Structure 1
Amino acid sequence: MKKVIGFLITCIMTSSIVIPTYSQAAVKQNSKLVQLSPATVQKAQVYEVKLRNTPIKYPQVKGLSSKKAEHKINTTLQKGAKVANQHRLKLLADEKEAKAKWTSSQGPWRPYEYVFTYKVPFNDAGKLSVVYYEYVYTGGAHGMTTGTVFNFDLKTGDLIRLSSLIKGKEKAIQDYTYQQLQNKYSGYVLIKSPNEISLNDKNRLWVFDQEGIKLIFSEYEVAAYAAGMPEIVVPYNIFQQ
């Protein structure tokens, strides 16, 4: 466990693992959050590419009305994949060093593991949410998974920050999320107060959802490891009142 946590801390120090951005799902006609013209309301065509000379596959987009926005999004997603590959290469180097020092008295050697995956949880209403997941195992009791989120405005290609969406409604979101965590992950929740739920742009994983926004929590952030990476959907009405 110490090795895994140490590796993850190193990754955080060398790159921006979490890029909280802002993408809005299902934008209703009377929504106070986003008002989109028919020309703006669109979906991206998402396809998969492989980072050269690596096992990492990541998404790219096409079919947008703005080629500039398309290029900006694809560049950002590619940079994220390259950062992930840097983490993979570091893990391989760490494994080589650790294995060289390993002795039979320590028991059988357990190979390190690195797995990169991604999801596209939202692609609608001129917004796109992408999550990169990195699973790392360094021989302990279990591996650890970290996430990086990208929430794009398909019209501009810009990343959207959570703070621009929930300004002034942080307390309402914290209270709602805390109650939902208690209901959905009963017996696993580790935090004792809604105030322990971070909504900071620098470390809050989140994506758009048809009902509002979905907060994604890292392992051990708010619940026991057995709960995985908890997810809570916060409806629009909670932060648009």
Structure 2
Amino acid sequence: MNYIMKYGAAVIATGVFLGGLGLSGQAVDASTSKTVSSLAASSKKVNSDISLKWNGKALSQKGMLDRGAVYVPATVIRDVLGLPLKYDAKNKVYTLGDGYNKLSANVYNANEIYLTVNGYFAGEPGGKIVNGRLYIPYKVLNEYMGIQGQWSPSAKLLNMTAKKQNPITIKTETVKKKILNTTAVVNYPVISGLENEEAQTKINNVLKKNMENVFDAAEGDVGTLPPSGSDYPYEFQGDFVVHYNANGLLSITTSEYSYTGGAHGMTFRNSYTFSLKDGKQLKLGDFINMQGKNKQKLNNLVLNKMKEDGGYLGGFKGVPTDAQFYLKDNAAVLYFSLYEYTAYAYGFPEFELKLKEWK
């Protein structure tokens, strides 16, 4: 069964995102000295211990290899990065970190642990609890927690270190407004530390305008609605996640979740990728070749994938020049909105495009 179908209703009902194209990438031997963005192992053995290092120093705790995915104990990340790790027993939720990269692990059972970053669904695989300890997939740590690593399949060793990121500060600002008898809350990013103040102002203006649009949309939606009831109160929530913050580029996705009655809420998202040098907002075509035969190749890839995954509603005529996307290490991720081309339960269709393959 497609995992989006399996988990879609439960995940979307909580207002988090669906997406992702799988759990693993290419395994690389550490002797090649290449940094890997995701890890897969040739071994199929379940729950096999692996050794962990941080900056070349051996750690006492062990990681885990399970069905081709590498997992790291949450306590390791707490210790090496000095992040807070908390557990809310009432709601069965772990939180790791703070600020804009706060990771939450929602525990349904030991093998169903949904991972979100600021409300953004972090994809598959989810977390695991083994012998009372929470394990996080390295893939999630790499994509959202600022960690990179080298993996040696032969030695079963993962050597981690912190990513080199742009020397900027990303602060979360929170704005609240009373709408009907509920409080709309939007958390949005504010950037500081750029040498080019004009570029910094330009970026912050875009992100602030997005926040204002969330409130405008919420107020517009409720214009004809009665006050929300106590059993199923209305909700309006905005958040953001940082996908990429390196090499003079910053890629952020903002989310807007609203529930105004009915069977389920609705999530919208917008992504912004900026050049920190001048504050310019970049397009997908700035990172991949979307001209000539490549454009047709991309259109075919997207259409075939949506049909293959199921839930395709029709209407796709091609990837537009202003398509929604975000950056990650060595790739651009193209995506479409809920209901745009696929049924709601299939979430946000995503297509990871390796930059070196789309020159």
TM-score bracket, shorter-length normalisation: 0.5 to 0.7
8 Å contact from structure 2 (residues 311, 346) kept in 1? yes
Which position in structure 2 is the counterpart of 1:213? 332
| CA offset digits 1:17-67 (Å, max 9, x no partner) | xxxxxxxxxxxxxxxxxxxxxxxx835321111236562210011222212
Q: Secondary structure at the match of 2:202?
A: helix
TM-score, normalised by the number of residues in structure 2: 0.46
Q: Partners of 2:301 and 2:310 in 1: how far apart?
A: 18
CA distance in 1, matches of 2:328, 2:284: 13
Equivalenced residues, count = 186
* Residue 272 (structure 2) pairs with residue 147 (structure 1): no
The answer on 1:62 being equivalent to 2:187 is no
3-state SS in 2 of match to 1:86: helix
Task: Tell me the distance in 1 between the aligned counterparts of 2:266 and 2:350.
Answer: 17
Which residue in the other structure is 1:231 paired with? 350
Closer, same or farther in 2 for the Cα pair 1:182/1:234, shift >3 Å? farther
Tell me, in whole angstroms, the C-alpha distance in 2 between the residues paired with 1:225 and 1:198. 20
Structure 2 residue 171 is matched with structure 1 residue 171: no
- Would the alpha carbon gap of residues 236 and 89 (structure 1) be closer, same or farther in structure 2, given more than 3 Å must change? same
What SS does the aligned partner of 1:77 have? Answer: helix
Q: Structure 1: which 5+ runs fail to align?
A: 1-40, 101-107
Q: Out of 227, 239, 245, which is 1:117 matched to?
A: 239
Structure 1 counterpart of 2:168, one-letter code: A
User: What is the CA-CA distance between 1:127 and the residue it aligns to?
Assistant: 0.9
Q: Kindly indicate whether residue 248 of structure 2 is the aligned counterpart of residue 126 of structure 1.
A: yes
Partner of 2:111: none
Select the structure that is richer in strand: 2
1:111 Cα deviation from its structure 2 partner: 3.9
Output the CA distance in 2 between the equivalents of 1:52 and 1:154. Answer: 29
Report what 1:83 is aligned to: 213
Query: Where has structure 1 moved over 6 Å in runs of 4 or more?
Result: none
Please say if residues 42 and 125 of structure 1, whose CA atoms lie closer than 8 Å, have aligned partners that are also in contact: yes
Task: Give the Cα–Cα distance (whole angstroms) in 2 for the partners of residues 90 and 124 of structure 1.
Answer: 37
Contact 1:151/1:208 (CA < 8 Å) preserved in 2? yes
Q: In the alignment, which of 122, 125, 137 is matched to residue 259 of structure 2? A: 137
Identity %: 26
Q: SS in structure 1 opposite 2:225?
A: helix
Larger of the two Rg values belongs to structure: 2
Whether contact under 8 Å (2:172, 2:188) holds in the other structure is yes
Alignment partners' CA distance in 1, 2:213 and 2:219: 10
1:182 offset after TM fit, Å? 5.1
Shift of 1:82: 1.0
2:172 is matched with which residue?
A: 48
8 Å contact kept, 1:218–1:230: yes
How far apart, CA to CA, are the structure 2 residues paired with 1:142 and 1:84? Answer: 19
8 Å CA contact 1:153–1:159 kept in 2: the answer is: yes
Deviation at 1:233, TM superposition (A): 0.7
How far off is 1:89 after superposition? 2.2
Structure 2 gaps, min length 5 = 1-164, 178-183
Q: What SS class does the counterpart of residue 114 from structure 1 fall into?
A: strand
Counterparts in 2 of 1:189 and 1:43: CA distance versus 1, 3 Å: farther
Q: 1:47 corresponds to which letter in structure 2? A: K
Q: Distance between the aligned counterparts of 1:206 and 1:190, measured in 2?
A: 21
Query: Relative contact order (C-alpha < 8 Å, sep 6+): which is higher?
Result: 1
Structure 2 CA distance for aligned equivalents of residues 150 and 233 of structure 1: 16
Residues 1:238 and 1:182: Cα distance change in structure 2 (over 3 Å): farther
1:187 and 2:317 aligned: no
Q: Distance in 1 between matches of 2:220 and 2:232?
A: 17
Provide the rounded CA distance (Å) in 2 between the counterparts of 1:123 and 1:94. 41
State how far apart, in whole Å, the 1-side matches of 2:299 and 2:168 are.
Answer: 31
Q: Secondary structure at the match of 1:139?
A: coil
Report the 3-state secondary structure (helix = DSSP H, G, I; strand = E; otherwise coil) of the residue aligned with 1:128: strand
More helix by share: 1
